[in-house]
Structure 1
């Protein structure tokens, strides 16, 4: 072990320094966990201060219950315009968890001494232990890696700390963290937190009399806290509280090893939690043996053969790597590098994931993914009975019980009819829970086909092991189910801004959860977005959604019905303003749903305040204008026919104006989408299409084929079959033969695109044969 790279001047110790034992750790390090427990046992302090949210101190008793680790303190802070949440996770080998247990065993008083996790000085960190390291720290870590001959921060840590003799560990850590942040230099981003922890230390020293105080914190903070504690006045710092219009809270939630693993994006922990659990419980050598078995099983489950010979070669290679690198025993990187060398036969497109920072990247070799997943493990936490719970969880349980919807261990299907008041109450609850994303709840069916009858919904409900934790985490949004779902939808809507698809989804969720009366801004926001949008496809989707629900009348309530009417009117007005300006063919195709929505409003919305006459006049102008996109012209004609404003006798004449191969399919798409039922039996139209197509050369037909196929796709299979019979009879085939051939057309195994490609190839071959004089 070469530690000559570490150096710093010795400081002059004071009496207070000798009584204050600050232990800098790496979060979730087994070596640090053992170090903390030994230190508390040796010093028998009066207080054990722990980097953690001080606002949780009144509830420390929650952590003494018989939980199954891992778990986390979930902290949230909500204002009218922002909701923030963060986690302080614990597992059996977390130094913070061992500090708590050791304090209780030694009769010391444990206290969290850091600012609340929601405090602004944490910034946007979703995990309180994610310390910001700057360029100097990164350069220092790289220098240590080079000096030790290791590849990556985790390999350095294992070499420096996890395999260190216990009597050397505290000295090594002190020098290592001093190298990252010499002398605890001032860190403006962390100054408020460190001042708060240092003031806690000074207060505890005054309260402890002649006894010692142990403070456990991230190594980044240790020397700064020592320095700041000397200047603190000894008064206990006040724990910040939210303002009157803000809400904050901290509760325990179940956690799992997947979320704890650095390779899944956790910013401040150790990788491979299941492996380090073994290190903590049984030591490095036993952990390596466990890891070999776990990786071999995972790779075999993934379909890779791992023979006994492979295991022998892998084991020997790992031992050789450890010996070459000067390790006391096989460490995690030795094990993984040996597995890579002996079990993975393919070359890698990128460096192995364990040699760099951050989560596993897309494209990582599947064998490496299987290895890392095996070392992550499947352990999931569970809260002990009697754990304090937020009001939201209690409110949801009471609502589910009252409505007869308490989830059981067997899945149940729940059929709901909105005409029945009790079903509507259940629908509100289930849809609000769906907004919150409760595990174990799935919406199987919702209102689909537009119709005036009441909507039908069906759900699948089952008790899910993650439901409790998720609902505790959802408490950041409010203390009751309606409040939480409303706040979450408001946040989604704010995030969506002018995205009509996202806003429409928010509106529909609020409608079915019975929340529109609580979220008055959502209708106005969506209507405003519709009025400004230049995307007719998005306007059409929003209009169809609104009209489809408006048809149900006041089944959602009078206020919701009015809101739906406002959205219909906004969409209708926007289409009226923008339709004539559409010239691009693709934009015209995207605009078809907007015409469908307006057609439905004209036919089925007599109470809507829409300009029927102006809209019909606009359709006429679109149809007469030769510059109109073909799909828009077809949709305009189809709307007039569907609304009874055109007899349809001259459809073939209008079609001839858009009869080029690159236009006809788009025109028919617009026409069929708007007036499919009205023109399905129009033999004259079918004859006109057939006549045009028959007159085209092969290359023109191939150009038109994809768009024609798309146009006729608007007809359901039964109607397409009937159209096939009409076309076949027009060629002179008898009724019986036309029916047989129509069925063959409908059931042909070859894809239409493949048939088109075959026709194109045949045309090329025929042309070349002709050019060569062979035909």
Structure 2
């Protein structure tokens, strides 16, 4: 006869009355009782839990002190076991993490892969871990599938990429807030005891009739509070019943139930393997798992199962890296779709229950914030003396019938507690900019009681109090930095943030702490700290400065932020000021430790990966070269990356990256010319390759509509600015001339660029270019498109900076002669184009305009533009200077300079008696006669 026959009969009678004889409801209710009965009859004690549940943690603590098991089987990834010993050095909450970047056995592009398993003190799993690790002779065995199997069993996209299951949130679950909620990043969460209906209609029904807004509040009201003080048998049976209900109502077509059953086969197989290998007595063991898995119906479940052995699939060849990362209540809520503040409320409930019951929880000896081994032992001894002996083996008594039939004992209103909450929330609200007063505290007190009564509760819960505070204090707007609901969370326990201790950090993170020690700051603090480095008076801080710049490159922007000082090629600041928040980004530094042993190694690996990825371009490779010179120094890595840049440039079939290439190669060439007499071999190869490459693509780029004027201008800038070096290295200028002659653009902007290039090559005289532009302004059919020609001329300054006076002239004529209907719509386009694409060209135009236009208003009335001044008559200008003219007088006034220049030119002569030079040959006279304008101009400049 079964222990639960009476309960089964009652449930079947209720099903008959409600469903009118339907078999579905009867099967579910009867099956739930069978599941609980089967779990209790199992030879190995199964302890069902819910993740981050204070009721589960309290029941676990009491049971461990009563039973003292020798082996604890825990539902957690088996390959995370070595990390558990490191929890001694941490301040909870923290998360166990497995991380992999180099994947072998998973589809390409699916990495990096990351798994986290957060641990809080108010959780049954932590109590079991602390008990097993700090109690001599107790073995802790993790039996869940490995991290590798977590991703093997995930559903996949069409390309084979694993798809993590989204958190089971509802519209009311806004778990997480701020940067603390992102402490886990994009990792897949692993939890013990996920108890949530997989049947959406059931959850909606429970929330509606429970008069709550989200699942976390329902669970706290109807499960946590009734089970907090329940005895061991009642707790086990109630949790198993809930797990069976959710299991039987979960849809089987989603694939999640199949994966859960695979996990159960895996765990029971590991348990049987350990019992067979160790010879442990099942009566001295306990199996801690989620309530959903505690009532498993798979054939492999139980030690007496007669099912054939389950074959565990092998792991992939992926190399997994393991470590601890800081966690927070917000991160846990965001990871698992819990309501905002629910984990903080659970922590407050745990602390209150521990103080109320006089229970000493287990804490790892040596843990930050935890008790010592002697204190834990004393607490265990005191609690053990008062604890009841373990229950004898055999079927347990039926506690479910009484638990389900009797209403929970009403917990009276604790006015002192509620009054303290109301006073404190008003104080916090005033500090955060709210106009709260004593009247608001009274209103929150009364509204909390009113809401609890409307929701059928004997006393206000923290959720009722938070709703009342929002209603009475926040009103319509949020003037402060935090909203009132967030202030309630801070009041009720706060968003506790964990920290990984120094000795549990990976080698890279410890190295960062050691090398930054001379700065004299506490790197474990989560607040922002200001550091000043005077590198002139304190040169031993230069290694710290170098490390900070490397961390600036690798970490998020707000982790290491320079306030004063910059790192540029060829520049070394003498003073630097930094804002450091390294403690706030401990997870990022820990994950750097998965990539290498030192920061320099990680930086080098990332730069190599950057230039060898499939989408790398010549511009990104040049950026990597610059970063290597800035942050790592030396030439070895820079030369390697530069050689890769040459390969990428030669393989490119588009010129989209031309502006970036031009800007970076100019900067790198200037740097290498400043530090040494010779250029690196890769720089010379890049110039010659780029010269030939852009000459080849130039005609196509001029006619291709997909290539912008900015790109064509950058190509010409590369060709003209690198021409001298390229020709010295063996390139042929005829290739550039041929490319320009073969270019026939149709767009006005590119036509202007082509004219500028022809002018630079001497194929188009400046006067003819001016005549063409004047003809465009005189042609009424072309006037509407003339601004496009102007845009092309502005872009041409990149390649032909000597054209700046002509561009100023054309702009001036355009502003003077274009009608307003054409000019005004074009001005915004010109301004935005200069600002977005050619910001470096604006100073060139401004300087040239400053030289061209008068500097004051008084001079403006009589000023004539240079291009409108009458030219000097050619006949008069070509007249040869008369004997004894200004040139002769100039030479006579400066005989030493004249002799020196004549000697250099091979025209040394003698002076006549009248003071004029008497050359030995007629070459000087021929030179003056051939170039009279130049001689006259020089004489005029020198006052001759």
Q: Per-residue deviation at 1:128? A: 3.4
Q: 2:200 corresponds to which residue? A: 138
SS at match of 1:253: strand
Q: 1:477 corresponds to which residue? A: 595
**1:208 is the counterpart of 2:231:** no
Change over 3 Å in CA distance of 1:661–1:333 after alignment to 2 = farther
**1:150 is the counterpart of 2:212:** yes
**1:91 is the counterpart of 2:120:** yes
Tell me the number of residue pairs that the alignment of Structure 1 and Structure 2 aligns.
696
CA–CA distance in structure 2, aligned partners of residues 294 and 570 of structure 1: 71
The answer to whether the Cα contact below 8 Å between 1:546 and 1:565 also exists between their aligned partners in 2 is: no
Change over 3 Å in CA distance of 1:526–1:113 after alignment to 2 = farther
Q: Which aligned pairs between 1:27-176 and structure 2 lie closer than 5 A? A: 27-65=51-89, 67-79=90-102, 82-103=111-132, 108-119=138-149, 120-121=151-152, 123=154, 126-129=187-190, 136-165=198-227, 166-167=229-230, 169-176=235-242
**1:436 is the counterpart of 2:560:** no
Change over 3 Å in CA distance of 1:602–1:525 after alignment to 2 = closer
CA–CA distance in structure 1, aligned partners of residues 117 and 286 of structure 2: 20
1:667-714 Cα offsets, whole Å, 9 max, x none, are: 2321334344x244x3x6544432332222222221232244455965
Give me the TM-score of the superposition, normalised by structure 2: 0.61
1:618 is aligned, of 733, 739, 744, to 739
**1:669 is the counterpart of 2:794:** yes
Change over 3 Å in CA distance of 1:467–1:639 after alignment to 2 = farther
The answer to whether the Cα contact below 8 Å between 2:96 and 2:323 also exists between their aligned partners in 1 is: yes
Change over 3 Å in CA distance of 1:336–1:121 after alignment to 2 = farther
Q: Per-residue deviation at 1:20? A: 2.8
SS at match of 1:380: coil
2:351 is aligned, of 281, 302, 306, to 281
Q: Which aligned pairs between 1:365-764 and structure 2 lie closer than 5 A? A: 377-384=494-501, 387-394=503-510, 411-413=531-533, 432-437=550-555, 441-442=560-561, 454=570, 456=572, 464-466=582-584, 469-489=587-607, 497=615, 508-510=626-628, 512-514=630-632, 517=637, 524=644, 528=648, 531-532=651-652, 534=654, 536=656, 538-553=657-672, 561-562=680-681, 573=693, 576-577=696-697, 580-582=701-703, 587-589=708-710, 591-603=712-724, 612-619=733-740, 622=743, 625=744, 627-630=746-749, 632-638=750-756, 648-656=766-774, 657=776, 660-676=785-801, 678-680=802-804, 682=805, 686-709=808-831, 714=840, 720=846, 723=849, 726-727=852-853, 734-735=858-859
1:487-546 Cα offsets, whole Å, 9 max, x none, are: 44566668883688767655644554449749978975895488546562x332244224
SS at match of 2:121: coil
The answer to whether the Cα contact below 8 Å between 2:452 and 2:458 also exists between their aligned partners in 1 is: yes
1:70-116 Cα offsets, whole Å, 9 max, x none, are: 22222223426744332222222233212223445666433333233
SS at match of 2:212: coil
Which structure's CA Rg is the greater one?
A: 2
Give me the TM-score of the superposition, normalised by structure 1: 0.73
Q: 1:249 corresponds to which residue? A: 321
Q: Per-residue deviation at 1:423? A: 11
1:447-502 Cα offsets, whole Å, 9 max, x none, are: 66xxxx84547865658324654332222223344443344456666888368876
Change over 3 Å in CA distance of 1:649–1:511 after alignment to 2 = farther
The answer to whether the Cα contact below 8 Å between 2:344 and 2:492 also exists between their aligned partners in 1 is: yes
Give ranges in structure 2 of 5+ residues lacking alignment.
1-10, 15-24, 155-161, 165-186, 354-410, 524-529, 777-781, 864-944
After TM superposition, the structure 1 stretch with the greater mean CA deviation from structure 2, 692-701 or 602-611, is 602-611
SS at match of 2:456: coil
**1:180 is the counterpart of 2:310:** no
SS at match of 2:188: coil
Q: Per-residue deviation at 1:47? A: 2.0
Q: Per-residue deviation at 1:157? A: 1.7
The answer to whether the Cα contact below 8 Å between 2:51 and 2:191 also exists between their aligned partners in 1 is: no
CA–CA distance in structure 2, aligned partners of residues 90 and 559 of structure 1: 59
CA–CA distance in structure 1, aligned partners of residues 153 and 611 of structure 2: 26
The answer to whether the Cα contact below 8 Å between 1:428 and 1:512 also exists between their aligned partners in 2 is: no
1:316 is aligned, of 446, 457, 473, to 446
Give RMSD over aligned pairs.
5.1
CA–CA distance in structure 2, aligned partners of residues 559 and 55 of structure 1: 55
SS at match of 1:52: strand
SS at match of 2:465: helix
Q: Per-residue deviation at 1:580? A: 3.2
CA–CA distance in structure 2, aligned partners of residues 529 and 372 of structure 1: 56
CA–CA distance in structure 2, aligned partners of residues 665 and 500 of structure 1: 30
SS at match of 1:552: helix
1:332-363 Cα offsets, whole Å, 9 max, x none, are: 43234333433343499xxxxxxxxxxxxxxx
The answer to whether the Cα contact below 8 Å between 2:115 and 2:188 also exists between their aligned partners in 1 is: yes
The answer to whether the Cα contact below 8 Å between 1:500 and 1:529 also exists between their aligned partners in 2 is: yes
The answer to whether the Cα contact below 8 Å between 2:98 and 2:116 also exists between their aligned partners in 1 is: yes
1:45-71 Cα offsets, whole Å, 9 max, x none, are: 222222333223345332234x32222
The answer to whether the Cα contact below 8 Å between 1:584 and 1:629 also exists between their aligned partners in 2 is: no
CA–CA distance in structure 1, aligned partners of residues 617 and 694 of structure 2: 16
CA–CA distance in structure 2, aligned partners of residues 346 and 548 of structure 1: 55
1:6-56 Cα offsets, whole Å, 9 max, x none, are: 832414857994443333433223233223223323333222222333223
Q: Per-residue deviation at 1:627? A: 0.9
CA–CA distance in structure 1, aligned partners of residues 677 and 48 of structure 2: 62
SS at match of 2:46: strand
**1:304 is the counterpart of 2:423:** no
The answer to whether the Cα contact below 8 Å between 1:47 and 1:212 also exists between their aligned partners in 2 is: yes
The answer to whether the Cα contact below 8 Å between 1:203 and 1:236 also exists between their aligned partners in 2 is: no
The answer to whether the Cα contact below 8 Å between 1:29 and 1:94 also exists between their aligned partners in 2 is: yes
The answer to whether the Cα contact below 8 Å between 2:211 and 2:455 also exists between their aligned partners in 1 is: yes
Q: 2:294 corresponds to which residue? A: 222
CA–CA distance in structure 2, aligned partners of residues 489 and 290 of structure 1: 56
